[in-house]
């Protein structure tokens, strides 16, 4: 079904606005380039002069041109070896910003009684802070290994295994959405999923409402709502508080 313009920079397909947040019980957000303005892995790589190389892999992965997301992330993380925790702190304080409308949309969802989930192919160093900053209920992301002993405080270039596995990819985002719905006793059709890259498509495909925010073309084409101009809170133009 073709995407139809609803307002300048805002398009919908598959339903007739307006809907109501009261119809939904869960909202799941991607983080990098969705809730926040940067791809954290690219900015971390800048500290060791490898931003261009890492960003090229990130862009290909987000466009869906790299089939194995996990391998693409391992390649990028390998290039982060030697980055310090202080470097990451600088990325957070000097480069990372919430995207326009992010806080307003999260607050509106919480006011409507919705649970908020953050699922990211990024890293806990950042997702934990965004969780606390926005009052998010649940998160799932990846853990960067930090060297101990000599050169402590530096990234090793590897990820830490977690009980759920070492990497949160598209399949894991989908699984987290479905498991959170089951925990809440709701249908996935009572969930909203918001993202921008190809690894968000699996969870967006399960949700009752899928939202593409300044997204890659393949994601925009499949989403029920496409926000191409303005902030995340433009969703409230088609899904009323």
Q: What is the pLDDT of residue 166?
A: 74
Domain spans in the chain, listed from the N-terminal domain onward? 10-240
68 is catalytic: no
Q: What is the pLDDT of residue 41?
A: 97
Q: What is the pLDDT of residue 152?
A: 74
Give the closest residue to 184 by CA, choosing from 152, 216, 137: 137
30 is catalytic: yes
- Coil, strand or helix: which one is 180? helix
List phi, psi (to 5°) of 86.
-65, -35
Contact criterion met (CB below 8 Å) for 141 and 120: yes
pTM of the shown model? 0.95
Catalytic residue among 5, 30, 68, 166: 30
The C-alpha atoms of residue 201 and residue 218 are separated, in whole angstroms, by: 9
The C-alpha atoms of residue 34 and residue 36 are separated, in whole angstroms, by: 5
Cα distances from 142 to residues 41, 98, 145, 167, in angstroms, run 11, 20, 10, 6
Catalytic residue among 5, 23, 32, 166: 32
Q: How far is CA 91 from its chain centroid? A: 17
Residues 6+ apart with CB under 8 A from 40: 31, 32, 91, 96, 122, 123, 126
Q: Per-residue pLDDT for the chain (241 aa), expressed as one digit of tens each?
A: 456 789 999 999 999 888 999 999 999 999 999 999 999 999 999 999 999 999 999 999 999 999 899 999 999 999 999 999 999 999 999 999 999 999 999 999 999 999 999 999 999 999 999 999 999 999 999 999 999 766 679 999 999 988 887 799 999 999 999 999 999 999 999 999 999 999 999 999 999 999 999 999 999 999 999 999 999 999 999 999 9
Please give the radius of gyration of the chain, using alpha carbons only, rounded to the nearest integer: 17
Give the closest residue to 12 by CA, choosing from 172, 162, 234: 234
Give me 5's structure tokens: 């313009």
Q: What is the pLDDT of residue 3?
A: 65
Q: How far is CA 208 from its chain centroid? A: 18
* H helix runs in the chain, sequence order: 40-46, 51-62, 69-78, 85-94, 102-111, 124-134, 170-184, 201-206, 217-222
CATH code: domain 10-240 is: 3.40.50.1000
The C-alpha atoms of residue 19 and residue 105 are separated, in whole angstroms, by: 15
Contact criterion met (CB below 8 Å) for 202 and 42: no
């Amino acid at each position: 079904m073709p995407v139809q313009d609803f307002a300048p920079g805002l398009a919908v397909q598959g339903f007739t606005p307006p809907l109501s947040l009261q119809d939904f019980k869960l909202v799941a957000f991607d983080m990098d380039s969705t809730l926040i303005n940067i791809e954290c892995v690219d900015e971390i790589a800048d500290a060791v002069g490898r931003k261009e190389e890492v960003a090229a892999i990130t862009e290909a992965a987000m466009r869906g041109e790299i089939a194995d997301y996990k391998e693409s992330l391992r390649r990028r993380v390998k290039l982060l070896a030697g980055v310090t925790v202080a470097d990451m702190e600088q990325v957070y304080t000097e480069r990372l910003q919430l995207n326009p409308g992010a806080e307003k949309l999260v607050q509106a969802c919480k006011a409507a009684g919705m649970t908020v989930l953050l699922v990211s192919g990024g890293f806990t160093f950042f997702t934990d802070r965004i969780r606390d900053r926005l009052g998010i209920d649940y998160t799932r992301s990846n853990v960067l290994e930090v060297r101990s002993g000599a050169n402590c405080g530096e990234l090793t270039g590897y990820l830490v295994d977690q009980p759920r596995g070492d990497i949160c990819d598209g399949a894991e985002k989908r699984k987290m959405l479905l498991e959170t719905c089951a925990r809440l006793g709701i249908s996935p059709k009572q969930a909203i999923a918001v993202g921008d890259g190809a690894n968000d498509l699996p969870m967006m495909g399960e949700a009752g409402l899928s939202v593409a925010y300044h997204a890659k073309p393949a994601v925009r084409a499949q989403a029920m709502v496409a926000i191409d101009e303005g902030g995340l809170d433009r969703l409230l133009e088609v899904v009323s508080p």
